[in-house]
Amino acid sequence: MERFINILIIDDNPTNQRGLKEILNGGGNNTLIANTVYEAISILRKKEVGILILNIDSPFFGGIELLQSLKEASNVSNVYKIVLTENTVSGTKLVKGLNEGAVDFIQKPFNPNLIKAKIEVYKSMYYKDQRIGQLLENIFPEKVLNDLNYKGKFSPKRIDNGVVMFTDFVGFSNKARKITPLKLLKKLEYYFTKFDEITEKYKVEKIKTIGDSYMALAGVNESEPEPEIRVCLAALEMRDFMINEREVAIAMNKDYWEVRIGIHAGPLVAGIIGAKKISFDVWGDTVNIASRAEQESEPDRILITQDVFDKIEDHFVTIFHEDVEIKKRGGSEMMYFLEELKEESSDEHNHKRAHSDLLRKCNMTVIDFQRMERTIFNQLKSMLPEELLYHDLAHTANVAKAAMRLAKLEGISSYESLLLCTAVYFHDSGFLVQYSQNEKFGIKLAQNKLSDYGYTKIEIDLISKIIASTALDTEPVTMLEKIMCDADHDYLGRADYTNVAKKLRIEMENMGKTFSDLEWIDFQLNFLENQHRYYTETAQNIRDSGKKIRIQTLKTEKEELINS
């Protein structure tokens, strides 16, 4: 499986640049060149770099001094730095370089096999770091991780108004006795994974799971507005998901699970406990009252306290429950069942989704990307003609995957990536209408439908231009257009090219265009050599070498076919 990484070479020597690029390009390596410190900093600010190669012998930009400054830069603290030098025996620069954070060196003249081996080692370590980072992000909030990475500690702090949500499954102990531990674990993982997706969507942080209980916070480690509204929106989506799961299970005569949810807002103390097995947690009456609200709630219902009600009553339908006694602490809290969004606060096309004005109030995207994605995929799955063996659902998924990969390597923002991915889906939706000029019909569908999912006219126009850029005799202009074109032809440089090309040949024959074996080879060569080119530097770096191999293989096949 290919693994992709940005490798930055900081060197003003063209010979070194060409030599290293020739050695490293391909195999998922996106090799970038910086001739100056300014260029290097510009790339590091925009793109996520995994490996940095620095010429410490260059007299023009002070390699050691640059390495020292990079050592202190937070955005490259996890980058593997390798120094390039001619003298490894008595060179004091090399020693200084290793002391200033370099992990290895490359010696001139270049040994290609040794360089490739070293890069693969650090590439593997980089991906292991990425995986560890992802696991830590699932355990600790982002702010906590940042403090631990750069300060070495996270100081306890008081939050005046945090929002706590608890969920648990009704009758869990009885259900646990009826199924095997493995099935129980898979069931919990399925539900908690969905809860994770929902909390992330509403910028709510999961803190932990305790058995079948799920705890999440808002307004503690982030400063996003309207934490009470965001938690209530997340709770409604969790509840609706569980109700839908229940209805499906009943229809199939299967057992189902039900959830109870409780929410309270108030002061908290947040901190880290433990010396070896550390964990982030929050304490205070607010936590206890939220837990009490969850216990008092009913199957597939959400119970909120007065403090939450006061902040959300303008936007949600609620029903007064009762004055609930708070055990141990004493006293009571007025509680309400959270039912649904009020009509004026819900989207006119989807009443379970918040109105765009309310989403903006919460500093959330108004685009309902998930619903759009689900709708388009269902349409492509059920309505694409069977004759389309190449332009099938797998093709759309592969183009979307390639587009997101290129976007990440190019340093494209998450918002622009969302628009790009939307263009990918609607680009292929044109095949639902007509085989030729699919871009034209994809644009029409986008212009007619995307406003239903919260896209603005400016965003729809931008998406339309991205779709149009893949038409024949059209040159992409913007970076998003270039990425779209390169993702659409990503397979030309991949190892599975032959299998994909076979599907294209059968599809074209289904549409009335037949080829002899020699004609098919000439058709491919003409496209690869005379019509196609990759537009982004990233695609050129990671796919051009594979494309050249495809061309040479086809020429060999042609020669063998002619001589047979």
In this structure, the number of other CB atoms found within 10 A of the CB of residue 300 comes to 17
How far apart (Å, rounded) are the C-alpha atoms in residues 416 and 400? 13
Using pLDDT thresholds of 50, 70 and 90, give the confidence band for residue 92.
Answer: low
Stretch 341-345: mean pLDDT, rounded? 94
DSSP 204: -
Q: For domain 5-138, say whether CATH 3.40.50.2300 is its number.
A: yes
Average pLDDT of the chain, as a whole number:
89
Rounded Cα gap, residues 521 and 551, in angstroms: 10
> Is the model's pLDDT at 249 over the cut of 80?
yes
Q: Which residue has the tokens 């290293």?
A: 20
> What would you report as the CA-atom Rg of the chain, rounded to the nearest whole angstrom?
28
Q: Can you say whether the dihedral through the CA atoms of 376, 409, 459, 437 is positive or negative?
A: negative
- The rounded distance, in Å, linking the Cα atoms of 264 and 348 is 29
pTM for this prediction? 0.82
Cβ contact 396:429 at 8 Å: no
155-361 has CATH 3.30.70.1230 classification: yes
Which pLDDT tens digit goes with each residue over 129-179?
888 887 777 777 777 777 776 666 667 888 889 999 999 999 998 888 888
- Segment 257-268 mean pLDDT: 95
Is 74's pLDDT higher than 60? Answer: no
449-489 pLDDT per residue, tens: 999 888 999 999 999 999 999 988 889 999 999 999 999 99
- In tens, the pLDDT along 375-422 reads 999 999 999 998 999 999 999 999 999 999 999 999 999 999 999 999
- With tokens 């309505």, the residue in question is 383
Instruction: Give ∠ CA 462-448-359 in degrees, rounded to 5.
Output: 70
Lowest mean pLDDT among 169-178, 227-236, 255-264, 519-528: 169-178
Cα 153 from Cα 162, distance rounded (Å): 22
Pairing of strands 29-34, 51-55: unpaired
Residue 251 has pLDDT above 70, yes or no: yes
- Provide the token pair at 509: 């024959």
Q: Does pLDDT of 17 surpass 70?
A: yes
φ, ψ at 489 (rounded to 5°): -115, 25
The pLDDT, as a whole number, for residue 133 is 80
Which ranges in 80-226 belong to alpha helices (H)? 92-99, 112-139, 142-150, 172-178, 181-201
Does residue 500 contact residue 399 with C-beta atoms inside 8 Å? no
Closest CA to 287 of 304, 307, 303, 264: 264
Burial class (CB in 10 A: 0-12, 13-18, 19+), 545: middle
Q: How many helices (H) and strands (E) does the chain have?
A: 21, 13
Q: pLDDT for 36-52, tens place per residue?
A: 888 988 898 899 999 99
pLDDT of residue 273: 76
Instruction: Kindly report, residue by residue over 512-527, the tens digit of the pLDDT.
Output: 999 999 999 999 999 9
Confidence class for position 559, pLDDT limits 50, 70, 90:
very high
CA 192 to the chain's CA centroid: 19
Give domain limits for the chain: 5-138, 155-361, 369-563
> Residue 9: which of 99, 106, 77, 97 has the closest Cα?
106
* pLDDT recorded at residue 564: 80
Distances (CA, A) of 246 to 46, 167, 172, 209: 46, 16, 15, 22
- Fold category of 369-563 in CATH: Hypothetical protein af1432 (1.10.3210)
Q: How far, in Å, CA of 21 to CA of 31, rounded?
A: 6
| pLDDT classification of 339: cutoffs 50, 70, 90 | very high
Which has the higher per-residue pLDDT, 19 or 88? Answer: 19
Residue 152 confidence (pLDDT): 65
- pLDDT band at residue 344 under the 50/70/90 scheme: very high
DSSP assignment of 204-271: -EEEEEETTEEEEEESSS---S-HHHHHHHHHHHHHHHHHHHHHHHHHTT-----EEEEEEEEEEEEE
Q: Above 70 in pLDDT, residue 72?
A: no
User: What's residue 368's pLDDT?
Assistant: 87
Q: Evaluate if residue 315 carries a pLDDT over 90.
A: yes
